[in-house]
Amino acid sequence: MAIRSGELSAVEHVEEALKRLDGDQHNAVVQLLADEARREARERADELARGTWRGPLHGVAVAVKDLIDVAGVPTRCGSNVRRDVPPAPADAPVVARLRAAGAVVVAKTHTHEFAYGATGDVAAEGPARNPHDPTRITGGSSSGSAAVVAAGHVPLALGTDTGGSVRTPAAHCGVVGLLPGFGRLPTDGVFPLSETCDHVGLLAADVDTAATGYQVLSGATGHSMQRDEVRGAVIGLPTGAYWRARDPVITAAVESAARRLADAGAVLVEVDTPGVDGMPDVYGSIVCAEAYTTHAADLATRPEAFQPIIARRILANADLPASEYVDALRARRRLAAQWRRRLSTVDAVLAPTTPIRATPLGVDEVDGVRVGAALLSLTLPFNLARLPAVSIPVPPADGGLPVGVQVAGVRFDEPALLRLAAALVVP
């Protein structure tokens, strides 16, 4: 908006982003694309001077997770396995769409190695650090994209989400994270973690920016954040121990979010989520089988190029029988169908994004809870059920680390879900 009006020039905006990213203290940036970004910023500024405005992302600096191809830049996936890969020959379609809409790609961002982890602290480049407390993890695997948005370097970044890799770091870093419905955005040019579960998603400074980004990426039209999506909306609150957060501040945040929705006219109902306890195992079998298949050749010839914990984790699945994987795919289809039937009377579901907040770097277990598994436990059910979801930061009652709550769309599609999310934002 400021760029269109001339109040802020694209050149100044991009220059400021580059300066901030260059001085980043969170190990969030793995490649700064300064020359190309400056050239594009000048082109966008010249276009605007000639009266050409490509839309709300015209001249806006965006960052891209280093799992997604940007033309001319190697896609290293946080791994020494890919230290010497040639530059990507072309933009991934999602990057091409952002660029066509005027966005300026300023940096590739940190990822948990091959996106195979939810903590953001295992990568060839070392751990990403949480802008709210650099001794703590960012969450992952879209660690750098969450951190550069949280640090205020850029308003928007691309991430990927297979079981929670956009929403988890969004919650930990206090930004908005969008998981679109499965298949809504193309994953070509994105290094796969699990091709039957991968999504491209967005990390954004606010809901409106996320909505704009999704509109550009999906080609959806008629986006308007004005419409009231809350009054009369039916919001499901999942029952059962599975959904209970470990951190009481997170529980309080979900309750306050529910109250905000009720006060705005939404109808809250309890819903049960059949089979949710078995979902982590189903998810594990699917992702493990697909990831092992992708990396088998490199693990056989140069296992030392992987981070040791990632190599161990992938190799643990070398002997998975096909029937276990086929069973997991069938369970996913069955559960997704079951959820759609059971939840068919609600517009959206409200739940915590993660059961715990950002843990200290190097700590694998907190109060008997395995951090890596816990961080995906509340996000992966929506991936398996093939529902879109948005994580929104909600102010923590103790004034401490960020807390995320998520809404997942059943009858609501992404634009409606984002309008609902907007109602959760505490001004």
Closest approach, Cβ 11 to a second copy, in A, equals 41
- Report d(CA 12, CA 34) in Å as an integer: 13
Residue 227: CB minimum distance to a second copy, A: 34
Rounded CA gap, 161 and 175, in Å? 15
**Residue 19 annotated to the active site:** no
C-beta closer to a second copy: residue 292 or 412: 292
Helices marked H in 343-385 — which ranges? Answer: 371-377, 380-384
Question: Would you say 22 or 327 has its CB closer to a second copy?
Answer: 327
- φ and ψ at 79, to 5 degrees? -130, 140
H or E stretch covering 407: strand 403-409
Nearer to a second copy, 124 or 289 (CB): 289
In whole angstroms, how close is the CB of 336 to a second copy at the nearest point? 14
Residue 165 annotated in active site: yes
Q: Are 236 and 219 in contact (CB under 8 A)?
A: no
| Stretch 200-239: interaction string toward a second copy, x if CB under 8 A | ----------------------------------------
Three-class HEC string of 170-190 = HHHHCCEEEECCCCCCCCCCE
Q: What residue type is assigned to position 322 of the chain?
A: A
The answer to whether 91 and 98 are in contact (CB under 8 A) is no
65 a catalytic residue: yes
Place of tokens 């809350």: 230
Which helix or strand (DSSP H or E) is residue 37 part of? helix 34-49
Spot the catalytic one: 65, 108, 143, 391.
65
Using the rule CB under 8 A, is 426 a contact of a second copy?
no
Q: Binding string, 236-275, against a second copy, x = CB under 8 A?
A: ----------------------------------------
Among the listed residues 15, 16, 133, 195, the single contact to a second copy using CB under 8 A: 195
Pick the closer one to a second copy by CB: 327 or 364. Answer: 327
End-to-end CA distance of the chain: 20
- 156 neighbors 213 (Cβ within 8 angstroms): yes
Characterise 72 by phi-psi region: left (phi > 0), alpha (psi -120 to 50), beta (else).
left
CB of 325 to a second copy, least distance (A): 4
Q: Does 116 bind a second copy (CB under 8 A)?
A: no
Question: Whose Cβ is closer to a second copy: residue 1's or residue 297's?
Answer: 297
Which candidate in 9, 142, 143, 165 is catalytic? 165
Among 28, 204, 245, 289, binds a second copy (CB under 8 A): 289
Query: Which of 141, 145, 285, 377 is labelled catalytic?
Result: 141
Q: Of 75, 82, 45, nearest to 60 (Cα)? A: 45
Residue 416 burial (CB count, 10 A): 17
Among 292, 306, 339, 412, binds a second copy (CB under 8 A): 292
- Smallest separation (angstroms) from a second copy to the CB of 329: 9
Count of residues near a second copy by CB under 8 A: 18
Burial (CB count <10 Å: 0-12, 13-18, 19+), residue 353: buried
For residue 344, give the DSSP letter. T
Report, in Å, the least distance between residue 288 CB and a second copy: 8
Residue 64 CB coordination number (10 Å): 28
Contact status, residue 124 vs residue 111, Cβ threshold 8 Å: no
Select from 229, 290, 347, 414 the one that contacts a second copy (CB under 8 A): 290
Q: Report how far residue 109's alpha carbon sits from residue 104's, in angstroms, rounded to the nearest whole number.
A: 14
Nearer to a second copy, 272 or 327 (CB): 327
Distance (Å, whole) CA 380 – CA 198: 11
Distance set, CA 151 to CA 20, 82, 279, 318 (Å) = 9, 28, 33, 39
Which residue number, 218 or 317, has a Cβ lying nearer to a second copy?
Answer: 317
Q: How far is the CB of 236 from a second copy (least distance, A)?
A: 27
CB of 319 to a second copy, least distance (A): 7
Task: By CB under 8 A, name the one of 31, 251, 256, 293 that touches a second copy.
Answer: 293
Which residues in 310-369 contact a second copy (CB under 8 A)?
317-327, 330
In the bound state with a second copy, the residue whose beta carbon lies nearer, of 168 and 317, is 317
Active site amino acids: 65, 141, 165
Please give the residue ranges that form the binding site for a second copy (CB under 8 A): 195, 289-290, 292-293, 296, 317-327, 330
